Chains A and B, each alone.
Chain A
């Protein structure tokens, strides 16, 4: 079955960087894009950006431009999201999702905690 499996929880200090992975299985990885969405504690969903697994084209949310980089490794069917210059308000669960008509399926989520 189609599945996205993300890397484990991270604890980072302010100013550091984090890189979250998302390994896809059950479909042809290069046929679909991957989006990243985050959810702060008790809050709603925030779209972070999208990457084409076919050619690596990206589109980032304006709010995160300059701090986020999304990449893929087609040899391992894995997508990555790196967020730099972390702040306390970056504390959230980070999700990857396959992009079709809507986002389906989603990864299980990765909790990133930013704390001194």
Chain B
């Protein structure tokens, strides 16, 4: 099983700042089959990024993904108030596993 480790566990930033979230895999993720999701309290997760760097339909361009192999990053270029949420990475190259999540909170 591929284990995904996200860091930091909690990130405290202010609106307008840049957020950088990390996801590290225990083995190489084939063909960059890595996705990112956003989850707000009481809601289902929403797909943000797939294929490590492709934005899902309707996702603002302030969200970007990068990385390959075992190291991946989600960047939010300029935080909006609605971006404060929990973010999960997921690999879908070999079955499916999720990271434990990063909580992005308002400083």
Q: Which residues of A contact B (CB under 8 A)?
A: 35, 37, 44-47, 50, 59, 61-62, 95, 100-109
Contact = CB atoms under 8 A, between A and B. Distances in A.
Interface residues of B, number: 24
B35 A46 contact: no
Interface in B68-100: 88, 90, 92, 95-100
A102 B29 CA distance: 14
B22 to A, nearest CB: 16
Contact of A46 (B51, B54, B95, B98): B98
Contacts of B92: 101-102
B98 A45 contact: yes
A108 B44 contact: yes
B96 A35 contact: yes
Q: Give chain A's interface secondary structure class.
A: strand
25 contacts: A35-B96, A37-B98, A44-B88, A44-B98, A45-B37, A45-B39, A45-B45, A45-B90, A46-B98, A47-B95, A47-B96, A47-B97, A50-B96, A95-B44, A102-B47, A102-B50, A102-B90, A103-B35, A103-B37, A103-B45, A104-B47, A105-B46, A106-B45, A106-B46, A108-B44
Contacts of A45: 37, 39, 45, 88, 90, 98, 101
Nearest to B92: A102
Given A102-B90, A103-B35, A47 B46 contact: no
A102 B35 contact: yes
Most buried by B among A46, A50, A59, A106: A106
